[in-house]
Amino acid sequence: TREIVEHPGAVAIIPLLEPKKILVTRQYRMAAGKHLIEIPAGTLERGESPLLCAKRELVEETGYAARRIRRLFSCYLAPGYSTEKIHFFIATRLVPRKARQAEDERIALRTMDLQEGLRGIERGQIQDAKTICALYYLATHERAGSRKGKGRVG
């Protein structure tokens, strides 16, 4: 027999303030027992599309909305025991809004450039799987953060 965690799915957003300048969160994660540096993310609500969830979570966690948001890819986080599928988006042309963090969330924001993030992975400072995926995606897909797919991330 196997125990399977049924999960409604989630989104993760790479918010770019400018090419290669990523907005990240720092928050305490009880399961890990420490603060983690992460890209904004959240769980899909019943009947909610991944795109609407990404837009909602971005504002809730960062206080920014995106004038442009684009789906990148989806993947299973732990298919050996969970149905959770996470949908990755990139958000650009950010505009300030009022953050609406949940009562139990204590999220601090900071920016980092792509190279700093990649060094953080190598040094063990970034240990969150979705954030590692996102940073490596940006590093290997130069056009991910540009408008209309033209140009480089930075």
Q: How far apart are CA 104 and CA 66, in angstroms?
A: 24
For 3, 19, 77, the CA distances from 50, given in Å and listed in that order, are 26, 24, 16
What own/partner pairs with CB < 8 Å and gap ≥ 24 does 44-52 have?
44/8, 44/9, 44/10, 44/11, 45/8, 46/8, 50/9, 50/11, 50/74, 50/87, 50/89, 51/89
| φ and ψ at residue 101, rounded to 5 degrees | -65, 145
Q: Which residues of the chain have pLDDT under 70?
A: 101-105, 142-154
80 burial (CB, 10 Å; 0-12 / 13-18 / 19+) is exposed
To the query of whether residue 84 is one of the catalytic residues in this protein, the response is no
Active-site residue, from 3, 103, 122, 142: 103
Q: CB-hemisphere CA count at 13 Å for 21?
A: 9
The pLDDT of residue 85 is: 97
pTM higher than 0.85:
yes
